[in-house]
Amino acid sequence: MRNYTEEGKVPHTDILNKHNKSTSSEAKFDVDSKLEVFRLAFTTMKFIYFILCLSLLVYSVWGAPRHRTLLAPVTVSDANIPRHLPRPRKTISATPQAKSKQRPGRKPKPLEDRVYKVRGPIRRIERSYSREKKGEVLMFLMHHRVPKDLKFDDDDDVVEYRPPIQMEASRWFKIPQRSMPIGGRTALK
C-alpha cells in the first residue's frame, strides 16, 4: 500500500494525477484521467440514489405513521348506565352441558316409527363382457391350437396339436370359466 504522505499527494489527487507525468500545479488532465474521475463520480451518485430509494422503501413500509381516527371517549352518562348499580355476573353451573346444534332439515324419526326394507338374498354379481370380447373368446376356442403332451420317440419328432379347452381360454383371457360363452352363435347375439 502506498504511503501518500511520503510522496506529498492526497488520495483523491492521486487519481487525477495518475497518468499525468508532469508535477506542476497547472498540469492538464488527459482524457483517461477525466474519464476515470467521471466514472468515480457517477458510481458515487448511483450509490447515493440506491441508498435514498432504499430508505424511502423502508420508511414507507415500516416507518410511515398510520392514519388513525380518534374516537371521542365515552363517559358513563353517555352510556346510560347508572353508576351505583354493579354489573351482573354470569353464573356458571357446576355440571357442564353440551350445546345442542340445530341441524338443517327435517327432524329424524324415532326408531319405532322408521320403515325398514326387507333384505333379499345375496346375489352374485357377474361381470358382463362386450360382444367383441365374447367373439374373441370364441375365435380363440375355434382356431387356436395347443401342443399335446410331448412324447419323445426316437422315430418321430412330430408335434401334435389340439384345440384349447375352456379352462385354458379362461386363463388366457383372465375371465372366470362360468362366464365363458358356450354356444357359438348364441354367444355372439
Q: Where are the domains of the chain?
A: 4-63, 131-188
Question: What type of residue sits at position 161?
Answer: Y
Q: For the whole model, what pTM was predicted?
A: 0.31
Rounded Cα gap, residues 20 and 33, in angstroms: 8
Question: What type of residue sits at position 91?
Answer: T
Q: Which of 55-64, 121-130, 140-149 has the highest mean pLDDT?
A: 140-149
Pick from 182, 172, 176: nearest CA to 140: 172
Asked if 15 and 2 touch (Cβ cutoff 8 Å), the reply is: no
Question: What type of residue sits at position 45?
Answer: M
The percent of residues above 90 in pLDDT, for the chain, comes to 16
Whether the pLDDT of residue 145 is over 90: the answer is yes
Q: Which of 32-36, 49-53, 56-60, 148-152 has the highest mean pLDDT?
A: 49-53
Q: Which residues pair with 147 in a beta bridge?
A: 161
**Band of the pLDDT at 60, cuts 50, 70, 90?**
confident
Mean pLDDT over the full length of the chain: 74
The residue written with cell numbers 420508511 in the block is 59
